[in-house]
Structures are given as C-alpha cells and as structure tokens.
Amino acid sequence: MSIELGKRLAKTAHVDHIDGDKLNDTLENLQVISLAENNKKAALERGVERTYAALRCPGCGRRFVRERRQTHLAKGGIYTACSRSCSGKFQHRIRKDPKDPKVISALDENIQTIGPYSSVEAAPGS
C-alpha cells in the first residue's frame, strides 16, 4: 500500500479492506485508517454497539464524552471527571466540604446519557 501511495505509512496506520474480504487486495478495496477506527469497525461488524455518555466535568465544568462502560454510571461511584487532574482536585473539594452547594450542583450536572451508535462515523472520538 505504501508503494501505491508513494509514501511510508505511519506506524499507527492500518490498511483496511473496505468490503471485509481479506482476499480482495485491489486498491479500490483498501483504505488507510487508524487503529481506533479499525477497532470500531471490527466491533460494529461483530454486532457490538457502544453507548456513550455526555458528561460535564465536576472539576472544571468542561463537557466531554466517554463510553458509558468507562463511567461511574456503569462502574459505580459518584462522578466521572474529564481527567485524572480534575478528578483529584474535585475529590479534594468533596473531602473539604461535602455539603457545599457547588459540589452538589456539579455532581447533579455530571449525568446525561446519549445513544448507541451504529456506524463508525457517528461515534464521537474517545
């Protein structure tokens, strides 16, 4: 594939067979995609649908999207932060004053679930 493109492929690049037939190596049937895209495509072909949760970080207030299985909604716990840094800072705020109205409000805003996605293009980035 790199010869046809006239350049070296990145180490993270994968060559995918568009029609799923591994024996069909025509150029029209090949595409270069990332490992993440390849994994999403393979999961969809196996019939696995991912459900995503749109959350607001209780630490910084930023909106972010995670697979539902990677959040407190599936694992238990009281919140999911956008990063380890925000998680640590918010944990400190909870320990300092667990009845603070700002802390309670941030926890309430940390829940909102969105769809299962049936195509690779529709799924938000992880």
Same domain, 57 and 99: yes
| pLDDT on residue 113 | 55
Residue 107 and residue 58 share a domain: yes
Q: Is residue 47 pLDDT above 60, yes or no?
A: yes
Range of weakest confidence among 14-18, 46-50, 56-60, 120-124: 120-124
**51 pLDDT above the threshold of 60:** yes
DSSP 56-87: E-TTT--EEEEEGGGSHHHH-SS---SSHHHH
Examine residue 126 and state whether it is found in any structural domain, yes or no. no
In the chain, the number of structural domains is 2
| Residues 95-119: tens digit of each pLDDT | 999 898 888 888 888 776 555 554 3
Closest of 83, 78, 50, 77 to residue 64, by C-alpha: 83
Of the pLDDT bands very low, low, confident and very high (cuts 50, 70, 90), residue 87 is very high
- For residues 63 and 29, state if they share a domain: no
Could you tell me if residue 41 is inside a domain? yes
Residue 33 falls inside a structural domain: yes
The reply to whether 72 and 89 lie within a common domain is: yes
User: Does any domain span residue 19?
Assistant: yes
- Are residues 94 and 110 both part of a single domain? yes
Instruction: Give which of 11, 39, 2 is closest to 125, Cα–Cα.
Output: 39
The band of 41, judged by pLDDT with boundaries at 50, 70 and 90, is: confident
Same domain, 112 and 65: yes
Parent domain of 74: 51-117
What DSSP character marks residue 8?
P
45 pLDDT tier (thresholds 50, 70, 90): confident
Q: Mark whether 66 and 113 lie in a shared domain.
A: yes
pTM comes to 0.52
Q: Are residues 108 and 64 in the same domain?
A: yes
Q: Which of left, alpha, beta for 61 (phi over 0: left; psi -120 to 50: alpha)?
A: left
Are 111 and 57 contained in the same domain? yes
Domain presence at residue 113 = yes
Give the pLDDT of residue 123. Answer: 44
Q: Tell me, yes or no, whether 59 and 84 share the same domain.
A: yes
Q: Which residue has the higher pLDDT, 110 or 85?
A: 85
